[in-house]
């Protein structure tokens, strides 16, 4: 990827007091298409400056593309189609993990019916032989499986709605009016 493509696809820097912005995913096909347009222009005898003007790239990028085109033709500008390291788990392995997770923690040998990231990481390792950290496990659940964190909505079996209502009517106003009750 060239410098101008990288700068357009990068997210904004982290600013204190604000949540970190996540960089948008790059459209590799659009980037490839732009390089192919440049290759077609070079095939027609256009100059690097024409590529800069028409495609809106830097002079350095046009120069790099021209050198690649001159050395290897259109194929040299095709690109790989993806960035970064290939994933350790194939789509089939991720599907196998998802099936195991849907069965529940007890069916996967755990004593309680609650998933934790550590347990999910154990299941992934057991099924695939690949050990992931807690952070990587969360990334797999969120990005590859589309899952989100859930918290069980449990209420105590012994919950007494009448007693809670009575307390809210009598005790809470008394506590609220006490001196210093409004202060932290």
Provide the residue ranges of all domains of the chain, joining segments of one domain with +.
3-77, 91-144
Q: CA 44, 49, 53, 56 torsion: positive or negative?
A: positive
Secondary structure (3-state) at 17: coil
pTM (two decimals): 0.48
CA 96/CA 126 separation, integer angstroms: 11
For 135, the token pair is: 């952070």
CB atoms within 10 A of CB 13: 7
Q: What is the CA radius of gyration of the chain?
A: 28
> What pLDDT shows up at residue 155?
73
State the pLDDT confidence band at 1, using cuts at 50, 70 and 90. Answer: very low
Question: Percentage of residues in the chain with pLDDT exceeding 70?
Answer: 80
Q: Please give the average per-residue pLDDT across 48-53, as a whole number.
A: 94
pLDDT digits (tens, 9 = 90+) for 118-145: 999 999 999 999 999 999 999 999 999 9
Q: Which DSSP symbol is given to 13?
A: P
């Amino acid at each position: 990827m060239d410098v101008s493509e990288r700068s357009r696809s990068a997210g904004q820097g982290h600013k204190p007091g604000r949540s970190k912005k996540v960089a948008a995913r790059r459209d590799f096909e659009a980037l490839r298409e732009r390089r192919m347009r440049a290759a077609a222009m070079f095939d027609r005898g256009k100059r690097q400056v024409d590529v800069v003007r028409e495609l809106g790239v830097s002079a350095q990028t046009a120069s790099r593309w021209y050198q690649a085109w001159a050395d290897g033709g259109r194929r040299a500008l095709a690109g790989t189609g993806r960035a970064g390291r290939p994933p350790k788990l194939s789509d089939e392995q991720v599907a196998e993990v998802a099936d195991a997770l849907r069965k529940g923690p007890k069916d996967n040998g755990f004593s309680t019916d609650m998933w934790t990231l550590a347990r999910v990481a154990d299941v992934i390792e057991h099924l695939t032989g690949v050990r992931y950290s807690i952070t990587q496990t969360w990334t797999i659940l969120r990005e590859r499986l589309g899952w989100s964190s859930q918290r069980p909505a449990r209420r105590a079996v012994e919950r007494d709605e009448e007693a809670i209502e009575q307390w809210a009517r009598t005790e809470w106003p008394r506590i609220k009016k006490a001196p210093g009750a409004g202060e932290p």
